[in-house]
Amino acid sequence: MSLFVDALVFSLLLTAYFSVMGLGLNLIFGVMKVVNLAQGTLFMMGSFFAIVLYETYRINPALSLVFVIPLFALIAVPMYFAFIPKISKSRDPEIASFVLFFGVAYIIQSIAISLFGSNYYAIPDASFGIPSTKVAGYYVPFTYFAAAAFSIASLIFVYLYLYRSRTGLYTRAVMDNRLAAISSGVSVRSVSVIAFCISIALVAASGVFSSQVLYSTSQDIGDIITVTSFSIIIIGGLGKPLATIIGGAVYAFSYEYSSIYLPNFVNVIPFLILIVVIVLRPNGVFGGKLREV
């Protein structure tokens, strides 16, 4: 029972973190029908940026968010105008974006290898200056609470943006019916730029905590993060940003409990669940029809 409670505590904390990990990917797909295969490498960039800030100036991950979020939101603007307008005009934007961002991911990973090598890096838990917290008889590193707090704040921000702002209303209109939104006078480009900036900033910011929550980071961590993010959004529902919470919960709970009771299959169970979801609900738990044939 003690291991069960231990896994429950960590699963709840990781649910929000995994949700935000895939949130930006789902937002981009929902608004632009673009598959951002560079999701994991952007996550990796945020992680290394936080590591450099810590090693150079002893800035802990939570404070490094002040630098990471605006920086990557700004980086997203030239990325958008360099790639998205061209992709949107192609006959199949999903496939075109898949190929293009695969190249972008490879370039970013190559640069990371040249700068950091193939070593593993981590920011120590002591960087927060706060000891572990005892929960249900177990000591949980403060990093997990910091990551969960950031993730919950990010989910609330996206909810307020989508459902409590005029721009969010336009964003949902574009996600529901792009042509109808255009005919109603919605500026699809403005909506897309904002959504793209939010998405890139969120994934880079979630990477800030990766070297502690995921124990270490390296230049090739982007591959598994991209696969994990896709699994999360597919389980929750493609094109439904806040449905990533469901995917994050499924992934977090299945990963934590399988690591205790089925340790030899810890990396298999979440993907078995993904396969079951795809068979039973091809567009995810909350996904609707994506295309009309």
Residue 188 pLDDT greater than 50, yes or no: yes
Residue 283 pLDDT greater than 80, yes or no: no
Residue in this structure with the two tokens 């560079």, named with its chain if needed: 38
pLDDT band for position 40 (cuts 50, 70, 90): very high
Q: Let me know how long the chain is.
A: 293
CA nearest to 67, candidates 85, 87, 45: 45
Q: What is the 3-state secondary structure (H, E, C) of the chain?
A: CHHHHHHHHHHHHHHHHHHHHHHHHHHHHHHHCCCCCCHHHHHHHHHHHHHHHHHHHCCCHHHHHHHHHHHHHHHHHHHHHHHHHHHHCCCCHHHHHHHHHHHHHHHHHHHHHHHHCCCCECCCHHHHCCCCEEECCEEECHHHHHHHHHHHHHHHHHHHHHHCCHHHHHHHHHHHCHHHHHHCCCCHHHHHHHHHHHHHHHHHHHHCCHHHHCCCECCCHHHHHHHHHHHHHHHHCCCCHHHHHHHHHHHHHHHHHHHHHCHHHCCCHHHHHHHHHHHHCCCCCCCCCCCCC
pLDDT at 288: 55
Domain locations along the chain: 28-229
Average pLDDT of the chain is 88
Residue 287 pLDDT greater than 90, yes or no: no
Residue range 203-226, pLDDT digits in tens:
999 999 998 888 788 888 988 899
Q: Count CB atoms within 10 A of the CB of residue 101.
A: 23
Cα dihedral 17, 19, 25, 30 sign = negative
Residue range 49-63, pLDDT digits in tens:
999 999 999 998 899
Dist. CA 52–CA 66, nearest whole Å: 14
pTM of the model: 0.90
Residue 291 pLDDT greater than 60, yes or no: no
C-beta of residue 219 within 8 angstroms of C-beta of residue 13: no
Residue 191 pLDDT greater than 50, yes or no: yes
Residue 205 or residue 94, greater confidence: 205
